[in-house]
Structure 1
Amino acid sequence: MEPLPPFATHQVDNQPPEFAPRNLWRDDHALREAVAREGGGDFVDVLAGYGSLAGDELYRLSFDAHRDRPRLRTHDRFGHRIDLVEFHPNYHRIMQAAIEHGVAGLSWSQPRTGGHVARAALSYLHHQVEPASSCPLTMTHAAIPALRHAPALAEWATKAAAAHYDPRDIGIEHKRGVTIGMGMTEKQGGSDVRANRTVAKPLAGESEYRLVGHKWFFSAPMSDGFLVLAQAPGGLTCFLLPRWRPDGQRNALRIMRLKDKLGDWANASSEVEFADAWAYRIGAEGRGVPTILEMVMLTRLDCMLGSAAEMRMALAQAIHHARHRHTFGKRLVDHPLMRNVLADLAIEAEAAITLAMRVARAVDRARHDPHEAALARIATAIGKYWVCKRAPAFVNEAQECLGGAGYVEESMLPRLYRQAPLNSIWEGSGNIQCLDVLRALSREPEAGARLLAELELASGLHHDYDSQLASLRPVLGGDTDVEESQARRWVEAMALTLQAGLLLRHGSPIAEGFCRTRLGGDHGNVYGTLPAGVDLMALIDRALPA
């Protein structure tokens, strides 16, 4: 150490270098292997380019986009109602980069095999650096199949899939690309959308309605249009409610307030009223829930990807810090107990993205393969439940690896920690996912049969796996019913077995450790309790190349 000048007290040493720039694609062995394995290999150049952009420029832009929260302007200075949400310019730069690179539209703009897999990887890369903007990106992506059900909304579907971002508050006829938000939740119903009270009154046109009602949670209110549910004469129905009416007038959408949320700060969520707002019906009256089912599967996949991405970034930050920080005479990563924590986190993170990308392949092929459609039906709910549940404790453990620095906003960990609980709540809480799995097993037995067939592919590869699979066969085969009170226990078992089976079949170096600890019980109740004999440094180096 250089001697300090007289009265100088501040000298910086023993601090890690900046995390960025990094190429998030190049550094992620598990992701690259999963994309190749699940059919997205044709898009490697796109992914490599976005991994470089996300790990450098977007990473840097994200701090201001997150810190400077959106602001609501209900009126202009003359008193006109405008209902605008203003964002930091970096937010718009991040959204532009994401949309131009296909995070919202690649699956639909390039509809070939592997498109959903590649788009899932793009979403995973993006979410690592700016998770809040994933909300409008996800909803825009997921809304496109519903929009395509209505031929009159072809322009909306085409522009939602386009690689153009235009944040201006103008009608879509003046735009090359649009974004889509959603408004399903009402204060009296929550997840029970059939309890919604917003009323849709038919107009003279066959599919045009006026909506009157209130939405308790209205996502991404700056979007160009919104998919909403309302009670038409024939029952709960799905509608597109645009910000601007076809006649060029501002629609009667009133933003009451922006939600003051735990996290997700860069994105606006709101509470709104429809004051005789114009909307276009999608699907038949009374078929609102079936109309949005495909959309829900896509958004739930993105919840799974988002939680996996949060784990990945938290792990990368922890490993980076531990490699450069010295304590008690050696690098933090060279302390055996810290190695155990980091290696355990590495196992969890790789298992999460492995499962998410397998579900992405099932979604990719669901339209043409009934077996994959059945697997996507049940595995999406299983994965959404389990991966999203694992994220908060995971991120907190990564924070602890940094000590006090992980609790300071200048690091990324507090942002990730606030974000981590969101995906387990959004698009159906944990109980909703587990009930959905039970519903699939009872009403769609092919879903359980297809999941069992997937699990059987790894039979005989590990004794702990075989024991777990044996306990699941009666449930998935339809021979044993699951009591509702036990749903979480069984869904957890399904998730762990599915993760283990994928790791075993594909020869992952983490498979043995995963099976011993997650299935065989050779593990404690917190991270950092891997058994003796595991090559801890090999797992860390695989997770983030030095």
Structure 2
Amino acid sequence: MTNKTTTADLAATHQVLNQPAPLQGHNLYAGDAALKEAVARNGGHWGEDDLQRYGEVCGRPEWIERGFQANHYKPEFEPHDRVGNRIDQVNYHPAYHQLMQLAKSEGLHSSPWTDPKPGAHVVRAAKYYLHSQVESGHGCPITMTFASVPSINLTPALAKVWLRKITDRGYDPSNRPHTEKSALTIGMGMTEKQGGSDVRANTTTATPTGDGAYEIVGHKWFTSAPMCDAFLMLAQTDAGLSCFLVPRWCPDGTKNPVQIQRLKDKASNVSNASSEIELRGALGWLVGEEGRGVPAIIEMVSTTRFDCMIGSAGGQRQATLQAIYHASQRCAFGKPLIDQPLMQNVLADLQLEVEGSVAMTMRMAQAMDHLDDEQQKLLMRLGTAVGKYWICKRTPHHAYEAMECLGGNGVIENFITARLYRDAPINAIWEGSGNIQALDALRAIAKTPVVLTNWFDELERSKGSDLRFDRALAQLKNQCADLDQMEYRARHLIEQLALTMQSHLLIQAGNTAVAEGFIASRLGAQGAHNTGTLPVGIDVQTIIERGNPLNL
């Protein structure tokens, strides 16, 4: 008697083997040694319990899934209601609103302003770093809302009306006047077609109406998060470029003519709508002094640049933990990937990048907590430009290398590494691209030479700890003293300012394996450093374990 092959037998072609289960249900804070140590070292120890709690929240599968949904279902623009009234409505997937609600309920847009104390910026930065690993696009309006506070504070009358609602932990996405809402979000509009980063070339004009307000006519080429309740915008007056707070709706309940022309069709950052707008006689109120628009809005810009550092460091961390987790769960050529020397070289190198980024970001957060100290203020002035340049610029290649660790799966959209790679360039381009950051650093040094002296004073604390560091510091001082073609050499100078600062901070942190690995590969190497080319003798296993998301 012969055995018959059934349909069920034919359907069972194989078993799924050697494919890691999705990483979820893990605590993003508890498994991040670099972050935990940096928080404690920079004065945020009092936030340990809250960060442990939030690390668990950010690892929950439902929040991870919402991050995917917010990116899969892109925002859609609805210019008019069904009977033809202009509403300028952008519709988001519910997951986007849930992520926004979570961010605001945790105070990521406000906590250092509403509860200022030593370590407030450190703890907020750590929490934002965790949050951005879930989904980065909705972080744009959270960052802008957070960063608007220093600028709006320049005009006490506006601050009295707006700040309570800006810092409120509620979330109200409804398309209605700010006077009817208890919680608000704030955006920013600087860039125009003809000028880009050269905002002094802006052509938008603002004319006084005689009642303390202005009528604004012009356009903005990039306005992200256009459903914010108001925007800080630049426009020309008789006194020069000035800054204005422009609401989406007028206080009397009429629609302010801030009209969205279209949404940008972006390669990445797709959960966050970015728009082109025209201002057709829009109402606005002056922020700061007339003719002093750049100093007024730079208060906001410098804070958004700091958040770019946080977001990019968080992206590096999420990419690294995905690579380490995958390598620990998958075998090839007879043994786990994580036990194979060449993969260890790559994974340890990815983790070293995170170590340097976290150390620098959290040190700048500590400086923000102590801006009444002149030395900390000077460190922050140069550090935001240097850190934003270097950390954000390192992230795209870092994301690619982490993605490659997953092989073909790494480029598939339902693996988070694909999204991390697409989103990685955004922070390097927005809020001032690489050249702008390098030139800003040179301007800071030229205008206030003590910022560079103060930077070197900080680095001097690690002198004598490592000969390679000492040599790099001496070379950097010589390069900075040479004023010939400084603008042409600016990128190299900023790179060395960043690498020596990261090396110094890792030396001070006291983990020999990390400091040795970073210095040997970043300062000791000749020429460009390619991922996975760590020199022999580095304690790669210790470094990898610091980044293992399951090493609780």
TM-score, normalised with respect to structure 2: 0.96
CA 1:318 to 1:211, structure 2 compared with 1: closer, same or farther past 3 Å?
A: same
The amino acid across from 2:506 in the alignment is L
Q: Identify which of 457, 467, 480 aligns with 2:471.
A: 467
Residue number in structure 1 paired with 2:107: 102
Q: CA deviation at 1:55?
A: 1.5
1:525 deviates by 3.6
Residue type of the partner of 1:182? M
The C-alpha deviation readout for 1:325-356, integer Å capped at 9, x for no partner, is: 11111111111111110011111111111111
Matched residue, 1:43: 47
Deviation for aligned residue 1:211: 0.5
C-alpha distance in 1 between matches for 2:30 and 2:114: 25
**Which deviations, in whole Å up to 9, do the C-alpha atoms of 1:16-46 show, x marking residues without a partner?**
1221111111111111111111112222222
Is it true that 1:448 corresponds to 2:452 in the alignment? yes
* Residue of 78, 84, 87 corresponding to 1:79: 84
490, 495, 498: which is aligned to 1:495? 498
Match of 1:52 in 2: 56
**3-state secondary structure, aligned to 1:485:** coil
Could you say which residue in structure 1 is the equivalent of 2:242? Answer: 237
Counterpart residue number, 1:184:
190
Other-structure match for 2:5: none
Q: Distance in 2 between matches of 1:371 and 1:481?
A: 28
- 1:445 Cα deviation (Å)? 1.0
How far is 1:49 from its partner?
Answer: 2.1
| Equivalent residue, structure 1, for 2:323 | 318
1:185 is paired with a residue whose SS is coil
- 1:362 aligned onto 2:379: no
1:9 and 2:9 matched: no
Counterpart amino acid of residue 176 in structure 2: I
Correspondence list, 1:381-392, <5 A: 381-392=385-396
CA contact 2:145–2:185 (8 Å) conserved in 1 = yes
- 1:372-387 aligned within 5 A: 372-387=376-391
The corresponding residue for 2:227 is 222
Highest RCO, 1 vs 2 (Cα 8 Å, sep ≥ 6): 2
**Structure 1 position 459, deviation (Å):** 0.5
Kindly report which structure 2 residues correspond to 1:131-146, keeping only aligned pairs within 5 A, or say none.
131-146=136-151
One-letter code aligned to 1:202: P
- Match among 160, 174, 178 for residue 172 of structure 1: 178
Indicate yes or no: 2:309 matched with 1:304: yes
1:541 pairs with one of 525, 534, 545: 545
Tell me whether 113-122 or 213-222 shows the greater mean CA deviation: 113-122
TM-superposed deviation, 1:514: 0.7
Per-residue CA deviation, residues 433-467 of structure 1 (Å, 9 max, x unaligned), is 11111111111112111101111111111000000
CA contact (8 A) 2:147 2:301 kept: yes
- Where does residue 266 of structure 2 map in the other structure? 261
Supply the distance in 2 between the matched residues of 1:303 and 1:505 (Cα, whole angstroms): 24
Amino acid at match of 2:79: T
Among residues 165, 170, 173, which one is paired with 1:159 in the alignment?
165
Distance across 1 between alignment mates of 2:240 and 2:50: 44
* Residue 396, structure 1, aligned to residue 425, structure 2: no
Whole-angstrom CA distance in 1 between matches of 2:197 and 2:328: 44
Equivalent residues of 1:434, 1:487 under 8 A apart: yes
Pair 197,391 (structure 1): closer, same or farther in 2 beyond 3 Å: same
**Alpha-carbon contact 1:516-1:522 (below 8 Å) kept:** no
- 1:90 has 2:86 as partner: no
Q: Which of 109, 117, 128 is matched with 1:112 structurally?
A: 117
Cα displacement (A) at 1:172: 2.0
Q: Structure 2 matches for 1:404-423, cutoff 5 A?
A: 404-423=408-427
Q: TM-score, normalised by structure 1?
A: 0.97
| Cross-structure match for 1:29 | 33
Q: Which runs of 5+ in 2 are unaligned?
A: 1-7
Letter in 2 for 1:388: C
Q: How far apart, in 2, do the equivalents of 1:49 and 1:201 lie?
A: 50
- Give me the whole-angstrom Cα distance separating, in 2, the residues matched to 1:412 and 1:482: 42
Asked if 2 retains the 8 angstrom alpha-carbon contact of 1:164 and 1:177, the reply is yes
Distance 1:32 1:106 in 2: 19
Residues 377 and 258 of structure 1: is their aligned pair in 2 closer, same or farther, counting only changes over 3 Å?
A: same
Tell me how far apart the structure 1 counterparts of residues 367 and 258 of structure 2 sit (CA, whole Å): 37
Shift of 1:7: 4.5
- Shifted more, 102-111 versus 135-144: the winner is 102-111
Q: Distance in 1 between matches of 2:354 and 2:204?
A: 41
Q: Which deviations, in whole Å up to 9, do the C-alpha atoms of 1:475-523 show, x marking residues without a partner? A: 55x6756621001111111100000000001212300111111001178
Determine helix, strand or coil for the equivalent of 1:125.
helix
One-letter amino acid of the structure 2 residue matched with residue 137 of structure 1: I
Q: Distance in 1 between matches of 2:479 and 2:408?
A: 46
Structure 1 255/524 Cα, relative in aligned 2: closer, same or farther at 3 Å? closer
Q: Following superposition, which runs of at least 4 residues in structure 1 exceed 4 angstroms of deviation?
A: 478-482
Conservation of the 8 A alpha-carbon contact between 2:516 and 2:538: no
Give the match for residue 504 of structure 1.
Answer: 507
Aligned sequence identity (%): 49
